[in-house]
Structure 1
Amino acid sequence: MLSRRPSDPRRTSLSRVPRLAAGLAVALAVLPGLAACSAPGGSGPAAGASKTGGSVATNPATAGKVTLTEWDQNTDPATDSATRALNAAFEHKYPNVHIVRVSRSFGDLKTTLKLGLSSANPPDVVQVNQGYPDMGAFVKAGLIQPLDRYADVYGWKTAYPQQLLDLNRFSGNGRTWKTGNLYGISQTGEIVGIYYNKAQLKALGLKPPATLDDLTTGLAKAKAAGKLPLAFGDSDKIGAIHLFGVVQALTAGKSAVRDLVFGAKGASWTDAGTVRAARIISDWRKHGYLSPGWAGQTSDQAATQFGAGKSVFYLEGTWEAERVAKAMGAGNVGFTALSPTAGGAPVTEGGEGLAWAITGKSKHADVAAAYLNFLNGQKGMAQVASAGGLPALPPASYRPAPGTVNADVLNTWHTVSTQDGLLPYLDYTTPTFFDTLTSGLQELLGGRQTPQQFTKALQGDDAAFQKSR
């Protein structure tokens, strides 16, 4: 996800009422090798066909009356709109299927998902965060099931590039990531970058930041001018992950970050680049660059703060593009990713959104698989794009209006992905790393830990996991 959307939770909703997707259509450049791929659906069974691939029934119309329960964290405007519209479209196509949607914030989903999957009546379809903390743990416990038989029937293995498929793979015992069985498919792509208020930047005599030094200069000038430099919130324990991750990518470098997250021998979270990143964001807090009261504010509230014109910058993922575009006007806000040096290639966190997975106890696995294929097919990807989102397999026909934040998202995604600048999210590292990282960042930014103490705790978590494998 890779998806990291800390939006206000919209608890439970029934998707019987259609909600048309709105917003600027976005065309998205893709990861290397993706241009030759197309969304699922085209190579799968014909619409409405009653076919069976092995033991897979591909036509939900023949399943009788089915209630399909799905849990997601698509609470940002673009993916919420797309999910509502697609659920309604699926129900219209298959009137015998009723979808019950439970939509929660990313943090709430992480908190409740394991309990929900372990219950006597779990949902059928869920969004699962990649990496060891969630997907690996659920695979180990048998709470989600392999999708390889469905991938073969619906053509997912040829539709998606290998590098995206691998992020949703695990060995059957949940101990080895990026290999083994396929446990999910992802609907969206994403990168984390810097949103900026064009008018306020111009008033400060600044250009859009291209490097970490540029951003630091911009933060200082904004503070000196009496403006809030960076809208920021971390009460949901999400915002600081991105703040630290974006800076670490620039100070430690892409090779070091990949080695750390993927457990390469000799990699250490106490390296100079990682310690420097911790020191930089700690200094930003000391200098007053972050929102006052940031510890009691969510990232979603920070987005609202930025959208209301109360800050010059906002650091977050592409999933917030539609929210800020609606608040400010798509032409009044920009988006970019930073490079380690002037003229260099940008590097940042990103990849694909949370994986759609089928639970181990689902009584309607074949219907659930058809639903996944519908969400992630050509029409599903087009729906995400038309709602202002970033589909994992973007339709070639969509183009954003020049000069808008959507065009910036397209251009930045293209530049980062085609120049090998996508880095994994840090919380993938170990089964307990999300908790260690988020609690440590709150201590660091609260002035209760030094950068050295913070990074030492990260290293201790990683070392304990590597020893246990």
Structure 2
Amino acid sequence: MVHGATNRSLLTAITLAALLVTGACSAPGSDSGATDTNTSAAPATAATCGTGPVKLKGYFETGFPLPKDLATEFTKQFPNVTWDIREDQFAVITQNAPRVLADDPPDLMRLPQVSELVKDGLLKNLDGYAQAQGWTAWPASQLEQMRVGPSGERGNGPLYAMGLNFSMTGVFYNKKLAAQIGMTQPPATLAEFDSLLQKAKDAGLTPINQFNGGATGGLAFPLQNLMAAYGDPAAINDWIFQKPGASIDTPTNLQATQHLEKWIKAGYLAPDINSQDYATMMSRFIGGKNLFIFNGDWESGNLDKQMAGNAGFFLMPPSQAGGKRAAMSAPLTYGIGSTAKNADCAAFFLNWVATNQQARDIAVKVGGSHPMGPADAYMPPVQEGSVTASTLAAGATIGQDNGAMDFIANATGAIYAKSWTPQLQKLAAGQQTPDALLKSVQKDYESQVKN
């Protein structure tokens, strides 16, 4: 999921009006392929939806209103464009992505991980659109996670996806329950956080509730936050981006996994996490059943509505006082099928999401996250003291500390469902050790990268 998380730097480029002028007589976008890794192979291609009827086929993630709200607003502004939207849970999309893109490619699809999809020639190379629409003038950090080189290494090479926004993860908390244990401000260190967890347990509260059932478990969220508290987020990114020689089995990551195990053994997590899905976790938190959850800013707008004034947010504290903050921070990634029927219109939509004022309003108010787009682009006002204000401010801190990480679940197409989730479920059940967990994930990773 990471649905996201966020580097939060922002952008300069061409305006939507310029797009409408240049987009009317453009050639089709360049096709992707397993060997299409040279940016010069994608000619500059202005995106357009034209003036005739267009039906965009979308494959979106269920449970998150942002994509559909954007689609609705887009049709209001461009009535010739309608939508045929299919929705599935992220776990299902993760399993289905290669088959769907090969057999019935959507014009626009929520993507779990891009490297294998690029290698199989299933995603369109977006460099032509990027050049024509001015995306190359945006801060490079916004797009680097969606670039894939010839060896499958991410971070450079052609662009194969775009984000609807930049999302970021951290810790949400219930302010009323926090007051019950004397928490007046977010913890400054990991030790302070541990102390709050113990106080919550002593007060008869559930300190942390985290979904961990199904094919995409949520214990990866606190684990990666703990990894960043103990170690260098750049090393985690190297592993996710498949840099040669990178390993997840490191001494600091072992400390982090041991710390998570300590939380489990201390009873700081709800005892039924392995049978919980994401919706259950959110329902319990909104219902006041637990103090903390690890989640992303895509819930900020929802929590501002359903827990108005009673939800707070903070970044995972470092292991040492004064340490820099880090967070899982990535685009809410969408791609265009390599043989999509309406690729130019899908690319036009992606550019509109980043540059149109109403679209940027929706990205912040509904998605709770920082929009993509030019550095000097319009930013909607947010209410002081809201969860959304807190997550946007936290994003600025991550940018200052250079602490943005992609999600460890995005290292390969199968690593989340087939390795992280079952291994963390075993850890929660007391059937796996931290050391063996990391070694098992690394072994799976090396096998998947080779293939």
Report whether the alignment pairs 1:163 with 2:146: no
Counterpart of 1:185 in structure 2 is 162
Aligned partner (choices 183, 189, 205) of residue 182 of structure 2: 205
Report whether the alignment pairs 1:90 with 2:74: yes
Counterpart of 1:147 in structure 2 is 126
Change (3 A) 1:93 1:342: same
Counterpart of 2:30 in structure 1 is none
Letter in 2 for 1:441: L
Structure 1 residue 43: deviation in Å?
A: 7.6
Q: Is the 8 A contact 2:61 2:93 kept in 1?
A: yes
Aligned partner (choices 312, 319, 325) of residue 334 of structure 1: 312
Counterpart of 1:401 in structure 2 is 383
Change (3 A) 1:388 1:136: closer
Letter in 1 for 2:443: G
Distance 2:62 2:132 in 1: 27
Aligned partner (choices 50, 71, 83) of residue 99 of structure 1: 83
Change (3 A) 1:258 1:170: closer
Report whether the alignment pairs 1:127 with 2:115: no
Letter in 2 for 1:309: G
Distance 1:336 1:265 in 2: 33
Structure 1 residue 241: deviation in Å?
A: 1.1
Structure 1, residues 224-272: CA drift from partner, whole Å, max 9, x if none? 1111111211114231111211111112332442343344565443322
Change (3 A) 1:192 1:222: same
Structure 1 residue 41: deviation in Å?
A: 3.9
Report whether the alignment pairs 1:423 with 2:423: no
Distance 2:247 2:23 in 1: 53
Aligned partner (choices 375, 382, 392) of residue 371 of structure 2: 392
Other structure's SS at 1:239 match: coil
Structure 1 residue 293: deviation in Å?
A: 1.3
Structure 1 residue 325: deviation in Å?
A: 2.4
Aligned partner (choices 222, 239, 242) of residue 221 of structure 2: 242
Structure 1, residues 389-443: CA drift from partner, whole Å, max 9, x if none? 2133375442322222122112111111221111221123334422211211111
Letter in 1 for 2:298: W
Distance 2:96 2:245 in 1: 35
Structure 1, residues 18-46: CA drift from partner, whole Å, max 9, x if none? xxxxxxxxxx9933xx3xx1476448423
Change (3 A) 1:55 1:349: closer
Distance 2:179 2:153 in 1: 49
Other structure's SS at 1:175 match: coil
Q: Is the 8 A contact 1:44 1:155 kept in 2?
A: no
Structure 1 residue 56: deviation in Å?
A: 4.4
Distance 2:117 2:243 in 1: 24
Q: Which runs of 5+ in 1 are unaligned?
A: 6-27
Q: How many residues end up aligned between the 2 structures?
A: 428
Other structure's SS at 2:299 match: helix
Counterpart of 1:460 in structure 2 is 443
Q: Is the 8 A contact 1:41 1:373 kept in 2?
A: no
Report whether the alignment pairs 1:370 with 2:352: no
Structure 1, residues 321-354: CA drift from partner, whole Å, max 9, x if none? 222222221x221101122322322112113222
Distance 1:299 1:166 in 2: 28
Change (3 A) 1:297 1:4: farther
Counterpart of 1:231 in structure 2 is 209
Distance 1:108 1:274 in 2: 29
Report whether the alignment pairs 1:316 with 2:305: no
Report whether the alignment pairs 1:446 with 2:434: no
Q: Is the 8 A contact 1:165 1:182 kept in 2?
A: yes
CA RMSD of aligned residues (A): 2.6
Distance 1:350 1:389 in 2: 13
Please say which of residues 174-183 and 144-153 is displaced more in the overlay. 174-183
TM-score between the two structures when normalised by the length of structure 2: 0.87
Structure 1 residue 377: deviation in Å?
A: 2.4
Structure 1 residue 388: deviation in Å?
A: 5.0
Change (3 A) 1:38 1:83: farther
Distance 2:422 2:288 in 1: 30
Letter in 1 for 2:407: Y
Please say which of residues 305-314 and 95-104 is displaced more in the overlay. 95-104
Change (3 A) 1:47 1:210: farther
Aligned partner (choices 111, 118, 128) of residue 102 of structure 2: 118
Counterpart of 2:323 in structure 1 is 344
Change (3 A) 1:49 1:426: closer
Counterpart of 2:339 in structure 1 is 361
Change (3 A) 1:114 1:40: farther
Report whether the alignment pairs 1:52 with 2:31: no
Change (3 A) 1:30 1:271: closer
Report whether the alignment pairs 1:411 with 2:389: no
Structure 1, residues 267-307: CA drift from partner, whole Å, max 9, x if none? 44332211121122122122221123111111332122111
Other structure's SS at 1:50 match: helix
Please say which of residues 455-464 and 403-412 is displaced more in the overlay. 455-464
Q: Is the 8 A contact 2:212 2:277 kept in 1?
A: yes
Other structure's SS at 2:279 match: helix
Structure 1 residue 198: deviation in Å?
A: 1.6
Correspondences of 1:266-277 after superposition (within 5 Å): 267-277=246-256
Letter in 2 for 1:274: N
Change (3 A) 1:40 1:323: farther
TM-score between the two structures when normalised by the length of structure 1: 0.84
Distance 1:147 1:401 in 2: 36
Please say which of residues 393-402 and 209-218 is displaced more in the overlay. 393-402
Change (3 A) 1:248 1:198: same
Distance 2:19 2:348 in 1: 10
Other structure's SS at 1:341 match: coil
Distance 2:14 2:99 in 1: 31
Q: Is the 8 A contact 2:166 2:371 kept in 1?
A: yes
Letter in 1 for 2:427: L
